[in-house]
Structure 1
Amino acid sequence: MFQFTSSFCSPIMRKSETLICVPIMGDSIDIMKININKAKLAGADLVEIRLDSLKIFHPSQHLNTLIKDRILPQLFTYRPKWEGGMYDGDDNKRLDVLRLAMELGADYVDVELQVADQFYDSIRGKTLNKTKVIVSSHNYQHTPSVEDLGKLVARIQATGADIVKIATTAVEITDVARMFQIMVDSQVRCVPFIGLAMGDRGLISRILCAKFGGYLTFGTLESGVVSAPGQPTIKDLLDLYNFRQVGPDTKVYGIIGKPVSHSKSPILHNGAFKSVGFDGVYVFLLVDDLANFLRTYSSTDFVGFSVTIPHKEAAVKCCDEVDPVAKSIGAVNCIIRRPTDGKLIGYNTDYVGAISAIEDGVLRGRLNGGGTAVSPLAGKIFVVIGAGGAGKALAYGAKEKGARVVIANRTYDRARELADVIGGDALALADLDNYHPEDGMILANTTSIGMQPNVDETPISKHALKSYSLVFDAVYTPKMTRLLKEAEESGATVVTGLEMFLGQAYGQFEKFTGMPAPKQLFKKITENL
């Protein structure tokens, strides 16, 4: 099993040394010029001008104009269809254009490995200014082994490349570790290297290249307008991930899940890290196999993880040690790598965040609430929808507060299993509409029903909500789910998932950093979500 390790034997990089390149695509030169200006205003270090995206292109005229009027360093790419681009003409004419760009003083040109020898043969002996040649290889199927990647780097170097570029496809997030290993090795050997893994599972390659010595990364002007799968926007690189502050000593944190892109945790934690001056970056981690992920990223660079659906229960088995409360719940939503021995310690901060938010909601719904040490949940029927990790945390917390817990789940056997563990009752979710033994009950949805993009879904019919005095939904994208809207219309107090999200995040931040959570800052950030 490959494990990623990192060690910097070369002089330590300064922060911000990795360049941000914005791909510029457009039907016309005029559109490209507008986008180049936007890239400069956005904070780009250079632009990649994708000549293959032009509908009308007069090489001599247009290259002359672009290079003469440049306001940022320019990388010219004329990508053929056989390498994932849009150009479908004669290769010799295409390479003539790149040679012309060099003659006119381009800062960089990108040449595919397959034609690199031919290209270098054609410019040998010529004086072509100081243009740097990037020789690139793209693999749209997978990411090769470390050994094969190393051989590929050597092949590209042998062409005479000034800069080596390899882009692969991340079939699993663990594939990216191999790219990081080559990136570190290349930095130690002083080889300028661009290494990127395409796709959603490869996103971390585009952010953490600033930590592991990558020459540049790509950030788009707009979300969805990308030149390769998985590119973040330059705004996200700079504002969300604090890219300029990422360097060799930066510690890596992240949210592990599947799906995971809906999570607001990166906004919260990166904002807090920046505010308190903590050298960490928090990233999305789209993980298929949790055990494999944790084995692969065993480096002390990766020090803390939030865990969400569907990995909370599996996380218990993947940790070397589990906090007693998390063990009782049977679910872990926070993993810390202990610095002294590298062991993984599992915790659960879900139950505190959720139960506190629900207790506050109950008191809010009372005209004369508060003033007692007994939990307002004591004695109440507390219906938990879902028997997964979050459901276990809510059921455990409610039971601890003296509530009479009922588990409702699509699969009755799973509901019965959890109910037996905590000492409660069980229902099939299909029977929940007809369950109303008393009024004033509490309902907590811990499933993903109603989460974007499935915002029209709800786990229970509106007419059945009349039996509940309070309804909580762990989903917070959207903040007001259909369940909560209909509960409010039925007269119930509602508690959003954002309130639970904040509560559990306080505990995670403190475990990540050893510092008190900046609660007011967290609340201010979530107001804008």
Structure 2
Amino acid sequence: MARPLICVTLNGCTVDEMLKDAARATAAGADLVEVRLDKLWVVEQMPDPDPSEEGKGNGEGERERPKFVEPEMIPQPLDSVDVHTALASLKQGIELPVVLTCRPERQGGHYPGDEGQRIEVLKAAIESGVSWIDLEVDMESKPRKALVDAAGDKTRVIASQHSSEQPPSASEIIQDVVDNSDAGEMVKMCYRTLGRHDGLRLFEAAWQLNGSGTPNAIMGTGSGGDWTRIHAPLLGQAMVYTTMEAGWHLSRQGRINASDLQTAWQLLEYETG
């Protein structure tokens, strides 16, 4: 079975942090990395610790596993980032092919400007000669077509949709992928998953799409969302989004560490090389 591309979404909210994570992704055997440009407009800040959680044990003389605390994303002014300088530094400092993404707030991103300003960022990303550009399918058709035309044959387009809702039926997911099959070289669908029932919907949709001729990546952001990532070779997924983060909290977020994923593929005999 074909090996999907392993894409590491880079951690960090500065160019330097992303470059360091890109070096780790290269060493881990990633095929490409995703740069979330919209994260340049936020600063990660850990909330103050909750005193009520300190010193808790499991009642058997052992401490409980520490509770994972999600960092707060503090928005920064639009003019705090020089896009062209950032793109030049990223291009120079990353060895692997790059997916450039600038996710809007409506799809869970952090870009603080209006849609016209975001489109200019995406245009600059394409002009930088990036390998892949992520363009949401809910963009207005005219500016999206202009970006696709600008991408031409040099920059491949990912047609993406990130929903804060739980996944619909498998047949509806399949229809969404088919409907957007001409919107890019690959269709990416991501939903909020809350457990095995949601995970099974994604798995069923990916299973039925295997061999359809439409390269796709289907995943969830929550419990059960990593099933299609772990079994991506079996499901014929084109690309798997991973992270260089490590920890038990990843599975609850539907994510997976890039090295752990490759180990899982070997254990499942999806990858023998």
Query: Letter of the aligned partner of 1:114 in structure 2?
Result: D
Q: Considering only CA atoms, is the larger Rg found in Structure 1 or Structure 2?
A: 1
1:191 aligns with 2:214: yes
Query: Letter of the aligned partner of 2:138 in structure 1?
Result: Q
Task: Give the Å deviation of 1:177.
Answer: 2.8
Question: Structure 1's 126 and 88: CA in aligned 2 closer, same or farther, altered over 3 A?
Answer: closer
Task: Give the Å deviation of 1:147.
Answer: 2.3
Equivalent position of 1:74 in the other structure: 98
Equivalent position of 1:52 in the other structure: 38
Query: Letter of the aligned partner of 2:117 in structure 1?
Result: K
Aligned equivalents of 2:5, 2:157: Cα separation in 1? 16
Aligned equivalents of 1:118, 1:101: Cα separation in 2? 18
Equivalent position of 1:147 in the other structure: 171
Bigger RCO (CA 8 Å, 6+ sep): 2
1:173 aligns with 2:196: yes
Aligned equivalents of 1:51, 1:204: Cα separation in 2? 27
| Match among 1, 4, 11 for residue 25 of structure 1 | 11
In angstroms, what is the RMSD of aligned CA positions?
A: 2.6
Task: Give the Å deviation of 1:245.
Answer: 4.3
Question: Structure 1's 42 and 127: CA in aligned 2 closer, same or farther, altered over 3 A?
Answer: closer
Give 1:124-273 correspondences, 5 Å limit.
126=150, 128-158=152-182, 160-223=183-246, 229-242=253-266, 245-246=269-270
Deviations 1:261-319 (A, max 9, x none): xxxxxxxxxxxxx9xx9xxxxxxxxxxxxxxxxxxxxxxxxxxxxxxxxxxxxxxxxxx
Alignment check: 8 A CA contact 2:225 2:255 kept: no
| Match among 82, 97, 106 for residue 121 of structure 2 | 97
Equivalent position of 1:41 in the other structure: 27
Q: Secondary structure at the match of 1:27?
A: coil
Query: Letter of the aligned partner of 2:221 in structure 1?
Result: M
Task: Give the Å deviation of 1:59.
Answer: 1.4
Task: Give the Å deviation of 1:68.
Answer: 3.9
Aligned equivalents of 2:117, 2:269: Cα separation in 1? 42
Give 1:294-443 correspondences, 5 Å limit.
none
Equivalent position of 2:47 in the other structure: none
Alignment check: 8 A CA contact 2:174 2:209 kept: no
Unaligned residue ranges in structure 1 (runs of 5+): 1-12, 248-273, 278-529
Equivalent position of 1:253 in the other structure: none
Deviations 1:343-396 (A, max 9, x none): xxxxxxxxxxxxxxxxxxxxxxxxxxxxxxxxxxxxxxxxxxxxxxxxxxxxxx
- Give me the TM-score of the superposition, normalised by structure 2: 0.76
Equivalent position of 2:131 in the other structure: 107
Query: Letter of the aligned partner of 1:186 in structure 2?
Result: L
Task: Give the Å deviation of 1:165.
Answer: 0.6
Alignment check: 8 A CA contact 1:165 1:194 kept: yes
Identity %: 29
Aligned equivalents of 1:113, 1:31: Cα separation in 2? 29
Query: Letter of the aligned partner of 2:88 in structure 1?
Result: N
Task: Give the Å deviation of 1:126.
Answer: 4.2
